[in-house]
Amino acid sequence: MNMEAIFKEKTAIPEKFRINRIDQKEYLVDGTIKTWNGACQEILSPICFMNDGDLTQEAIGSYPLLGEKESLEILDSAVKAYNNGKGTWPTMSVEERIKCTKQFVSAMKTKRTEVVNLLMWEIGKNLADSEKEFDRTIEYIEATINSLKELDRVSSRFAYEQGIFAQIRRAPLGVVLCMGPYNYPLNETFTTLIPALIMGNTIILKPAKYGIILLRPLLEAFRDSFPKGVVNTIYGDGKVIIGPLMTSGKIDVFAFIGSAFVANLIERQHPKANRLKTVYGLGAKNPCVVLEDADIDLTVKECVVGSLTFNGQRCTALKIIFVHQKIADEFIKKFSDAISALKIGLPWEEGVFLTPLPENNKIKYMLDYVNDAIAKGAKVVNKDGASNLKTFFYPAVLYPVNKEMKIYNEEQFGPVIPIVPFDDISIPIKYIEESEVGQQASIFGKDYERIAELIDPMVNQVCRVNINSQCQRGPDTFPFTGRKDSADGTLSVSDALRVFSIRTLVAAKESELNNDILNQILKNHQSKFLTTDYLF
């Protein structure tokens, strides 16, 4: 492994992946792209170049550090557009809302190259995964449109019970604050933003801490596709801009993907606990349990992608591996060899798997886990493990890990992989039961009776048990959620439409007068809510 070769001369960057500095001054408010003339935050790419003999992170642009005044202006815009549910957007028919969303998705498709390139420069995601993130987001929006059509079709008929007619539909909740994570700054942000939007809510979008200017190419599309004030964007220091939004008490839904600590800190600022609905995707420490009869080659393959895709920076990543003692040596040997075969380099290079990390101080944070584990008896068992250079950290496989080590319970969110040997299955089971989080788990083995015995205790502790497969969110039509400190609410294409809306009904006791009123409203198409029209 030649780590020095990762960071090359600027001239070695292929023409089509070069970047011109983007100094974003714009933010979207009340249907206008406004220019900010105040302070801006410099953006440093995880990609480094040699400058005057020093390896330094490339400065690729900046984004606005808006103030409290702008924050309140943005809030006002979203509140006005919702207008207590009387706004153009919340009262628009589903068909019309779908039309606007289709217009947005067409415009978004034209920005693929730009957004994909910025994903690579801002967060260091490799080309294949950056393209996948963009395409998956487009597919998610299209699937959301189809799912909403289906929901509308089901809701377009009347219910009749105990002499009462009712039409039951899902209605929007109000103003939604959407905050996404840096590891999927486009996809995961949009998996809350799009369903919230299409259900008739108005949006304040705060991008993640990294992966900000990649949303810049979409501002015009947001402005031109939706009525004014329906989508607003906010940038800056959370303490300055998010506090005023929450303390106003005017945010109806807080959609957040990130840490439980930050989610709770923000949530607590809202003065009306019951008005505020929360939709969270939070931390995880998904364990992988490798039984003694596991197919080692298959397990190694899944554990490599499970623990190291995007350098382990996925909430669903396998973050601790329990291996039966009898096969631990063979597993570790093959796992380490498989890691050695992964290509390191810059995101756009052909076949690159391991790339530099975007987070400030991340290398130190990874080394702290490694050093703490070493001090308590573990070793780095893979070749070159934990070597690092500037923003690049080569994966470290730690073995044998025990519960005294920080890495045993803490979420590393990076390329450090702890392996715990076990001879009694109660060890991983107890780990799962005592964990503060409960998103998913993976089991590797061949004996179906043994696997069945594990499924039952696990499904009541986590929300997805994967058999001979890594943990993952997709397919996006599957429910994605977690227990304990891992999530609040369930996201999937169809579930997300539900979490960002509430069931509302119009009901009437059967009588000649009421029958006539309902008939006239339906016949004359006088209500957007009360309608039996079929959405094709």
Q: Rule CB under 6 A: which residues touch ligand G3H?
A: 183-184, 188, 314-316, 472-474
Shortest distance, position 155 Cβ to ligand G3H, whole Å = 29
Which of 522, 501, 533, 502 has the alpha carbon at shortest distance from 165?
522
Shortest distance, position 344 Cβ to ligand G3H, whole Å = 20
Residue among 87 and 489 whose Cβ is closer to ligand G3H: 489
Residue among 259 and 278 whose Cβ is closer to ligand G3H: 259
Residue among 201 and 492 whose Cβ is closer to ligand G3H: 492
Residue among 315 and 366 whose Cβ is closer to ligand G3H: 315
Residue among 28 and 127 whose Cβ is closer to ligand G3H: 127
Shortest distance, position 187 Cβ to ligand G3H, whole Å = 8
Question: Tokens representing 360?
Answer: 């400030």
**Is 285 within 8 Å of 483 (Cβ atoms)?**
no
User: Residue 234, by phi and psi: left (phi above 0), alpha (psi -120 to 50) or beta?
Assistant: beta
Shortest distance, position 440 Cβ to ligand G3H, whole Å = 9
Residue among 27 and 184 whose Cβ is closer to ligand G3H: 184
Residue among 77 and 486 whose Cβ is closer to ligand G3H: 486
Which of 299, 285, 289 has the alpha carbon at shortest distance from 413?
285
Cβ neighbors of 265 (< 8 A, separation 6 or more) are: none
**Is 10 within 8 Å of 394 (Cβ atoms)?**
no
Shortest distance, position 284 Cβ to ligand G3H, whole Å = 8
Which helix (DSSP H) or strand (DSSP E) does residue 442 occupy? strand 441-444
Shortest distance, position 355 Cβ to ligand G3H, whole Å = 15
Q: What distance in Å separates the CA atoms of residue 40 and residue 67, rounded to the nearest whole number? A: 11
Radius of gyration of the chain (CA): 25
Q: What distance in Å separates the CA atoms of residue 291 and residue 326, rounded to the nearest whole number? A: 9
3-state secondary structure 343-396: CECCCCCCCCCECCCCCCCHHHHHHHHHHHHHHCCCEECCCCCCCEECCEECCE
Shortest distance, position 366 Cβ to ligand G3H, whole Å = 18
